[in-house]
Structure 1
Amino acid sequence: MNIKSISFFIGAFCIASFSFDQAGAQTIRFAQVPQPTAARQSKITVQSEPLQQSADTLRLELKEVVAMAKDQSIASKQAATLKETRYWEWMTYKSNYQPQLSLKGILPGYSKSSISVQQPDGTIDFRSVHNNNSSLDLSFSQRISQTGGTVYGSTSLQRFDDFDRNNTLYNGAPYSVGLIQPLFQFNSLKWDRRIEPLKYNESQQAYIETMEQISINASAYFFDLLLAQVDLQIAETNLNNTTAIQKIADTKFEMGKVSKNEILQLQLEALKAEKAVGIAKRDMEVATYNLKAYTGLQNTDKIKLSLPKSTVEMKVVTEKALTEAFQNRSDAIAFGRKLEEAKRDVAKAKGDNGINATLNANLGFAKSGRSIGSVYQNPKDQQLLELAIEIPILDWGRQKSRRKTALANQQFTQYAVAQDKQNFTQKIITEVNLFEMMKGQLLLNARAEQIASEKYQIAKERYVLGNLSITDLSIAFQENDQAKRDYINSLRDFWGAYYQLRYLSLFDFEKNEKIKL
């Protein structure tokens, strides 16, 4: 066999090449190249390829997958439901400071029975009772957050019907006002005003964080499937290349140019390549299912992913990231909330000191009569003033222990929050540095992938021409595959760091604005 016939076999090789979309819609493809010399001169090319959806294949970019996950995934719906729950809890809290109007009554209060009645001489006589005792009470109340007390006003009317004696009586309080004021006790309303707004703001920011966490998870599923698709394309191309090389080697073996050992080695490589295709198909099916399940995709037979961009036009400054994180993150809000809760617990321990005193004052008018109108004619005034007191005499140091425990817990919370702030700050700094590092690693891996691809093409040609061993060809073969996977993994790391930075700061450095939903 002469050089021309060998060149004919070389021209039949299936040579792998990557093409990348400049607009970010890159797809990995393998093309037939007519001459090996073209592979020696090949570079990473840029070609525009718009996304399109065929009957059974959906082409997606990374940001489209992230958007779908945020919009229709189960995780996003759970986050929205939790946000709504926190909203109604907030409205419940606000209602505690609003006036309350209520109507209470007993309609009817009918009774027919026999009761025991003590006689003047001490004996018991049983009397028949047949009556109706109905009542209505309309009351208005307002809690005072500064003191913890309650002011109220009410109007009431009562009707009593004695059916045995055919007698009807009315009794009512046309209006009355009063005050119930706890003394020397813990005021929960005052502390709720300081803590509940922090909890609500924390829940709002936690919702945004959850959506950014969904972006991180969706990105991970995206690259799982992208890597699986790349592995399948590599495996199929390697199988084709190995088959082509094996045919040439068989011809050279018949000519006595190669040994039986090389033939067996190529047969083993072919079996490995075929096995790799099967494994890659399995992995792609699993990755496709995981992506569909997380993003909520339905009725889509196939998904084809595009390589995301390898650069993002944004500048990340550590000081800016820290400032935004401490303004936006729910963790930063939680730092203040935990300190306020610790102060509240100390105040509660001091307020619940066993001394319970309550002042109850009421001023109003009341009257009874045989008709409703008579109740409201010249009613008589009524007053109530009482002070209830309970003072512990001996508690064996129980109240002191509670105060000391609350103070110790407050001190522990202060230390814990200080440590959390340090960890939070360090995490932001580390993530900013990691993002910058990933950008550099991505460029290196892109260059390494290009070099490995060119090296592999040259190694194949040299083997066909007979001046390269099968071992060296196998090494170039493996290096080429690994370089392609390393590049995809570096893309994963870069975009993972990008979404992680958004999650930690809740700031969009591309648009230079806070993330709001």
Structure 2
Amino acid sequence: MKKQFILLLGVVMASTSMFAQPLGKRAITLDEAITLARVQSVDAAVALNELKRAYWEFRTYKADLLPEMNLNATLPNYKNRYSLYPQDDGSYLFNKENNLQIDGELSIDQNIWLTGGSLSLNTSLEYLKQLDGNKRSNYMSIPVALTLNQPIFGVNKIKWNRRIEPVRYKEAKAAFLSATENVTINTINIFFDLLLAKANVNISEQNLANANKLYEVAKAKRKMGQISENDLLQLKLNVLNAKSSLTDNQSNYKSVMFKLRTFLSLDDNQELEPVLPDTIPAMKLSYNDVLDKAISNNSFALNIQRRQLEADYEVAKAKGDLRQITMYAQVGLTGKGSVINESYRGLKDNSVIEVGVKLPILDWGKRRGKVKVAQSNREVTQSKLKKESMEFNQNLFILVEQFNNQRDQLDIAQESDTIAIKRYNTNVETFLIGKISTLDLNDSQIKKDEARQKHINELFYYWYYYYRLRSLTLWDFAHNTNIDADFEKIVK
């Protein structure tokens, strides 16, 4: 089964033919808007850049675990100066230096994650040319040397990074998928705003046409004395209100359309006609099942794990700083001569062992205090994580209940919309034969408009709750599969 994000590019390429038509009116469905937003919107670009940053941070961490080759060289070091040198009797004299020095070292360095130290394999060559006096040349070589630099009691940062960084990258990948779903949620918000604005324009146009029709009939009835002057004036007022409402709704429709075009990075001259979604997936969700998927997939669970590890690391770091002991050891061979070949003959031992110690004698409890602070911070973090977990579970439970209830609310709103339209049409006919007053007619019109708006709002909440659950669980409930991506292809 191919992952959704791999298929996303194919969907967009398939949909480009729809955008190749001449500018003007064009219908746009919710699925098309979501597809475009996931690829073209600024929000999607931000999510992708955050993923790329996390990817390269993770690559940098992995590179720290691999051997590294380095070249250190001085090319050249020329001196022509007087320097102060001590004499055998303890006095100092200024002696002239006039020499040329060139040196280079090639090393292969490897961090040791198990101990936190570093191991290096080195080879070096140094050249010194006297430019005064006998003008001799000297070479000193270290063909091979093995160097160990090892802290004894300090915190092993590399070992901690091996625990923290993979969790951090998993969190970033899950956060990217959730951010992509959040792009969908933002798209739904704007799309249904446009859908509602378009519905309001249609309602206003219909209401204006009906108001004009009723007003013309009422003028004829007034001449025949069948209605009062007050009813006639009320119908004229209805015409004026319908015109005002149409103007406002048309302006709002254009504003929301501009917002959606900008969000989807579409041409400003293209007029969008939102299409009301005609099908929705019918399903009932179990809270326990949704919670299991959220804990397994959501970045929140990984965020809690990472923050707990970071708090533990700070405590370990503070304890490691109580005392510092570092061992430096180097074993190898060295040689010297007036030519390069001689410096690699008759090699002699070249070994160094050094142990550095830094122990606090009197620090007035500063280091112990830092340990206590780190431990207190860890306790605070644990309390926060516990509270956030409870709130997360609670919000997820509420969201599942809202989603399961929303299908019933949508069915009720859809039926109410149909009934309200029929009732209004019936009242128009009844009014024309003088059986009801203008107040009853106006009331049925208001109820019709409200029912239509409520139907669209309930449809919006259904999709909003659905994609909120997708973003929290990273699970496609309609196809019963997880939401994943080929991250290696995405970041490159």
| Shared fold, TM over 0.5 | yes
Question: Is 1:363 paired with 2:363?
Answer: no
The runs of 5 or more residues in structure 1 that have no matched partner are 1-49
How far apart, CA to CA, are the structure 1 residues paired with 2:184 and 2:107? 52
- Match for residue 410 of structure 2? 442
Contact 1:52 1:58 in 2 (8 A): no
How far apart, CA to CA, are the structure 2 residues paired with 1:382 and 1:124? 31
Change (3 A) 1:124 1:381: closer
SS at match of 1:316: coil
Give the deviation of 1:119 after TM superposition: 5.5
| AA matched with 2:474 | L
Structural mapping, 1:291-306, within 5 Å: 291-306=260-275
- Match for residue 302 of structure 2? 333
Question: Is 1:344 paired with 2:298?
Answer: no
| AA matched with 2:414 | A
Contact 1:172 1:375 in 2 (8 A): yes
- Match for residue 40 of structure 1? none
| AA matched with 1:458 | T
Question: Is 1:383 paired with 2:369?
Answer: no
Give the deviation of 1:128 after TM superposition: 3.6
Give the deviation of 1:100 after TM superposition: 1.2
Q: 1:397 aligns with which of 341, 347, 365?
A: 365
Give the deviation of 1:140 after TM superposition: 1.4
- Match for residue 201 of structure 1? 170
SS at match of 1:291: helix
SS at match of 1:395: coil
Structural mapping, 1:20-99, within 5 Å: 55-99=23-67
Question: Is 1:273 paired with 2:249?
Answer: no
Q: 2:293 aligns with which of 310, 324, 347?
A: 324
State which drifts further: 359-368 or 199-208: 359-368
Q: 2:422 aligns with which of 450, 454, 471?
A: 454
| AA matched with 2:198 | Q
How far apart, CA to CA, are the structure 1 residues paired with 2:22 and 2:231? 44
Structural mapping, 1:276-291, within 5 Å: 276-291=245-260
How far apart, CA to CA, are the structure 1 residues paired with 2:76 and 2:19? 74
How far apart, CA to CA, are the structure 2 residues paired with 1:118 and 1:491? 91
| AA matched with 2:460 | R
Change (3 A) 1:231 1:76: same
SS at match of 1:282: helix
Contact 1:177 1:362 in 2 (8 A): yes
Give the deviation of 1:301 after TM superposition: 2.2
Question: Is 1:141 paired with 2:109?
Answer: yes
Change (3 A) 1:64 1:403: same
Change (3 A) 1:279 1:132: same
How far apart, CA to CA, are the structure 1 residues paired with 2:477 and 2:272? 30
Structural mapping, 1:98-177, within 5 Å: 98-117=66-85, 125-165=93-133, 166-177=135-146
Contact 1:136 1:157 in 2 (8 A): yes
- Match for residue 479 of structure 2? 511
How far apart, CA to CA, are the structure 2 residues paired with 1:169 and 1:349? 49
Contact 2:261 2:268 in 1 (8 A): no
How far apart, CA to CA, are the structure 2 residues paired with 1:339 and 1:51? 49
Structural mapping, 1:472-487, within 5 Å: 472-487=440-455
How far apart, CA to CA, are the structure 2 residues paired with 1:305 and 1:351? 62
How far apart, CA to CA, are the structure 2 residues paired with 1:215 and 1:386? 61
How far apart, CA to CA, are the structure 2 residues paired with 1:303 and 1:419? 45
Contact 1:310 1:442 in 2 (8 A): no
How far apart, CA to CA, are the structure 2 residues paired with 1:125 and 1:407? 58
How far apart, CA to CA, are the structure 1 residues paired with 2:90 and 2:471? 82
How far apart, CA to CA, are the structure 1 residues paired with 2:440 and 2:159? 78
| AA matched with 2:140 | N
Give the deviation of 1:318 after TM superposition: 1.6
Contact 2:284 2:404 in 1 (8 A): no
Contact 1:105 1:135 in 2 (8 A): yes
| AA matched with 2:324 | N
The runs of 5 or more residues in structure 2 that have no matched partner are 1-17, 486-492
- Match for residue 489 of structure 2? none
Give the deviation of 1:126 after TM superposition: 4.2
- Match for residue 204 of structure 2? 235
Give the deviation of 1:176 after TM superposition: 0.8
Q: 1:491 aligns with which of 426, 445, 459?
A: 459
Give the deviation of 1:237 after TM superposition: 0.9
- Match for residue 6 of structure 2? none
Q: 2:182 aligns with which of 213, 226, 243?
A: 213
Give the deviation of 1:115 after TM superposition: 3.2
Change (3 A) 1:300 1:67: farther
How far apart, CA to CA, are the structure 2 residues paired with 1:481 and 1:119? 105
Q: Could you give the per-residue CA deviations for residues 342-399 of structure 1, whole angstroms, max 9, x where no partner exists?
A: 211111111111x211111111111111000001112111211121112111122222
| AA matched with 1:210 | A
Question: Is 1:423 paired with 2:391?
Answer: yes
Q: Could you give the per-residue CA deviations for residues 192-236 of structure 1, whole angstroms, max 9, x where no partner exists?
A: 111110000000000001000000000000000000000001101
Greater percentage in helix: 2
Give the deviation of 1:92 after TM superposition: 0.4
- Match for residue 468 of structure 1? 436
Give the deviation of 1:299 after TM superposition: 5.0
Change (3 A) 1:293 1:117: same
Taking structure 2 as the reference length, the TM-score comes to 0.92
Give the deviation of 1:89 after TM superposition: 0.5
- Match for residue 13 of structure 1? none
How far apart, CA to CA, are the structure 2 residues paired with 1:53 and 1:313? 35
> Identity across aligned pairs (percent)?
32
| AA matched with 1:433 | E
Change (3 A) 1:147 1:319: same
Between Structure 1 and Structure 2, whose CA radius of gyration is higher? 1
Contact 1:58 1:300 in 2 (8 A): no
How far apart, CA to CA, are the structure 2 residues paired with 1:150 and 1:230? 69
State which drifts further: 479-488 or 201-210: 479-488
Structural mapping, 1:401-412, within 5 Å: 401-412=369-380
Contact 1:52 1:59 in 2 (8 A): no
Q: Could you give the per-residue CA deviations for residues 164-215 of structure 1, whole angstroms, max 9, x where no partner exists?
A: 1221111111111121111111111111111110000000000001000000
Contact 1:445 1:486 in 2 (8 A): yes
How far apart, CA to CA, are the structure 1 residues paired with 2:367 and 2:385? 27
Contact 1:57 1:300 in 2 (8 A): no
SS at match of 2:350: strand
| AA matched with 1:113 | R
RMSD, aligned CA:
1.8
SS at match of 1:108: strand
